[in-house]
Structure 1
């Protein structure tokens, strides 16, 4: 068994420093090449690579294997010419020594790109990469930086923000001061990291795609979404007006509760409008209506009632709003009496109403889903029946039966 221990040098560092032409074959020739390369450039890692090739060859000889050690170099003019030169030298070595396997020795990631060329010509049993111990961390960092700079997406994500920061900070430091400039840049970087961390760009792309598809397909939800957006702005405006009516109120709990109390009816209407539009799209479409879309409007109303009830309870406890008063006339009783509902009773009424609405929604969604499920079952049965009928008709086709019989009776007729 003959093993080829080949030292790869893609950029021909050995040839340029010693003036020798590759391939260099044989123990003594490679041993002399070590001295020549070391005298030409003692700091070159090729010296260690050549010594490693000799060591591997010596270990294999100690195991009674026939070993051929060689140094193969490329061309420093271009990568294509270098790879072709290495391929031609490997062909000559294989033709002269006919090795059964090869052990490849390299000293860089650049040389490791030649390994597929070696594998295409002879079986590679081992790859030995030599890294100088004193420069191991430096070389690893170098290759990591090289791979980083080769990735276009990483360059745009990391290098561009750093470059903009280095350009903008001196301008801000000279105009508004170093502290404000650093605060502004930190804020922008934080927003950028959040933008990338939450994949907002993908969400915006998906939203734009869905909006375009909805516009082209003429879905009802496009109109209802616009109406829901308008109702949302109205709700936010109503909440802001409610907060402004409080005046200078200390703390944030009471203003937040007032904002929720005034805005939640409009926000609930907005969510209800949007969900109704999505439900109409499901009803108009060919597919059966999913249970989640049937139950969503009831859930929106129930959540709105709960939030409204709790916010009203806290505001009434603080004296911001008056107790809920209902006249007897509203219940059909001709009387001047009035029923005053305290905060706890109002909260209980809202909570019970929310529970009733959610239960009704669940029941409606369940009943409608079961009716649609029966339609799907019938459709599946019809499809199965049609499929079985089609399969039986194919099997009963006399032409197909005759063709199969003739083929089975005379399989060599086409020959």
Structure 2
């Protein structure tokens, strides 16, 4: 078993300070490299990393393992070229020495970014991180700040709001006061955090893209969405008017219920219009209509009826609206007298109607979807049925409707019939077996007659 002890140097500090080209392979070569790096820069932590690599290799040798110690360096020009250089050197080492596993030795967070490159080429048994007198915490903090400042998206997300806050707060403090300025800035920061937390920018981008695609493709839903938006605004306006007519009503329950009672018909029509447009797009398209789009309009109507019924029940109980009066009606020989429905009766009527509408929608959706699937199966023809082991056509040229029962047991069955009708083949075998039994029985009786 061969183990590769590899010391990673992403920024090529060893090469720049000693003038040597990596990889540096072998115990003696790495040991000489320690002296060269130490003489070039005694304060460099890379010296300790090289010594740690030698120590790990020595410990593995003491355990009677075959060890190859090497130093792999990248490039200081760019991170991409550095990673590619490390990958090429690792490929050469693996091709020459064929290690079974590797032990990675690093001394910084930047060098640790090379570990996935090593793991993609050889199994990594251990990662040895060299810490020199707690300098790792300082270096890690510096490295994180450096990476943070190098990321353009993070700079725009964090530094720009902080800078604007520091600029705007003194102006607001002088104009409207420190407390009011702090409150205004806190509100803006909260809105910004919600904006980023809910990915509003991505939602707006996706909505803009979908709208553009819908306009270019000529979908009917574009018009229905605009109509639905108009109906929604009408519903909100009507609901607000209903709340304003209540006057000074204490609490928020009655105004909210009144708003729902007045606005829900318009909101339901808006949702119904939008769903109808989407259903038309599905019907015009080549793909079959999905069951969810067929059922959605009925669900919208059912939900609207339920909300309308419950809001009417609460408002009627509080005396805000009048009871529902059914006028007298005559239809031929049938006639009904005028009667008043109570709040509970009205609620029951709305709930039952909503349930019936939802059931009708589910039934229609399942029927349309089932007929579409049956049509697709019908277009498949006879070949899928034969592939599944079904019976072939009775008038086909290879179908034999007669089964001979007096054939000998060792007769040869028709291969075509056996391939397409396994049940007939089994039945033929049973018939042959019965025929054999009958033959044996008759033979036995003849033998008995011949015995004296």
TM-score, normalised by the number of residues in structure 2: 0.66
Q: Distance in 2 between matches of 1:81 and 1:359?
A: 65
Q: 1:318 to 1:146 in 2, by over 3 A?
A: same
Q: What corresponds to 1:147 in structure 2?
A: 147
Q: 1:66 to 1:178 in 2, by over 3 A?
A: same
Task: Give SS of 1:286's match.
Answer: coil
Task: Give SS of 1:325's match.
Answer: strand
Q: Distance in 1 between matches of 2:269 and 2:82?
A: 72
Superimposed CA distance per residue, residues 324-377 of structure 1 (whole angstroms, 9 cap, x where no aligned partner): 122214777999963111211111111111122222222222222222222222
Q: Distance in 2 between matches of 1:123 and 1:320?
A: 76
Q: Give 1 or 2 for the bigger CA radius of gyration.
A: 2
Q: 1:147 to 1:35 in 2, by over 3 A?
A: closer
Structure 2 residue runs of 5 or longer lacking an equivalent are: 388-452
Q: Compare 99-108 and 205-214 and name the one that shifted more.
A: 99-108
C-alpha displacement at 1:265, in angstroms?
Answer: 0.9
Q: Does 1:256 align with 2:256?
A: yes
Q: What corresponds to 2:417 in structure 1?
A: none
Q: 1:138 to 1:368 in 2, by over 3 A?
A: same
Q: Distance in 1 between matches of 2:155 and 2:320?
A: 56
C-alpha displacement at 1:190, in angstroms?
Answer: 2.3
User: Equivalences for 1:339-358 in 2 at 5 Å?
Assistant: 339-358=339-358
Q: 1:360 to 1:114 in 2, by over 3 A?
A: closer
CA contact (8 A) 2:57 2:67 kept: yes
Q: 1:118 to 1:353 in 2, by over 3 A?
A: closer
Q: Distance in 2 between matches of 1:118 and 1:347?
A: 70
Q: What corresponds to 2:401 in structure 1?
A: none
CA contact (8 A) 2:315 2:321 kept: yes
CA contact (8 A) 1:224 1:277 kept: yes
Q: What corresponds to 1:131 in structure 2?
A: 131
TM-score, normalised by the number of residues in structure 1: 0.72
Q: Does 1:302 align with 2:302?
A: yes
Q: What corresponds to 1:232 in structure 2?
A: 232
Q: What corresponds to 1:325 in structure 2?
A: 325
Choose between structure 1 and 2: higher helix proportion.
1
Q: What corresponds to 1:275 in structure 2?
A: 275
Q: 1:12 to 1:284 in 2, by over 3 A?
A: closer
Superimposed CA distance per residue, residues 83-138 of structure 1 (whole angstroms, 9 cap, x where no aligned partner): 99999x99xx9xxxx9887977543355568899999xx99997644222422322
Q: Distance in 2 between matches of 1:295 and 1:118?
A: 54
Q: Does 1:213 align with 2:213?
A: yes
Q: Compare 269-278 and 232-241 and name the one that shifted more.
A: 269-278
Task: Give SS of 2:325's match.
Answer: strand
Q: Distance in 2 between matches of 1:117 and 1:325?
A: 79
CA contact (8 A) 1:3 1:99 kept: no
Task: Give SS of 1:203's match.
Answer: helix
State the aligned residue count.
379
Q: Distance in 2 between matches of 1:220 and 1:51?
A: 73
Superimposed CA distance per residue, residues 53-101 of structure 1 (whole angstroms, 9 cap, x where no aligned partner): 55346546656789998989899899899999999x99xx9xxxx9887
C-alpha displacement at 1:253, in angstroms?
Answer: 0.4
Q: Distance in 1 between matches of 2:154 and 2:76?
A: 29
Q: What corresponds to 2:423 in structure 1?
A: none
Q: What corresponds to 2:193 in structure 1?
A: 193
Tell me which of the two structures has the higher relative contact order, counting C-alpha pairs closer than 8 angstroms and 6 or more residues apart: 1
User: Equivalences for 1:7-406 in 2 at 5 Å?
Assistant: 22=20, 36=39, 44-56=44-56, 58-59=58-59, 62=62, 105-110=105-110, 128-329=128-329, 338-381=338-381
CA contact (8 A) 2:328 2:336 kept: yes
Task: Give SS of 2:262's match.
Answer: helix
C-alpha displacement at 1:230, in angstroms?
Answer: 0.9
CA contact (8 A) 1:328 1:338 kept: yes
Q: Distance in 2 between matches of 1:14 and 1:157?
A: 37
Task: Give SS of 1:380's match.
Answer: coil
Q: Distance in 1 between matches of 2:64 and 2:335?
A: 118
Superimposed CA distance per residue, residues 234-273 of structure 1 (whole angstroms, 9 cap, x where no aligned partner): 1110000000000111111000000011111111111111
Q: 1:136 to 1:321 in 2, by over 3 A?
A: same
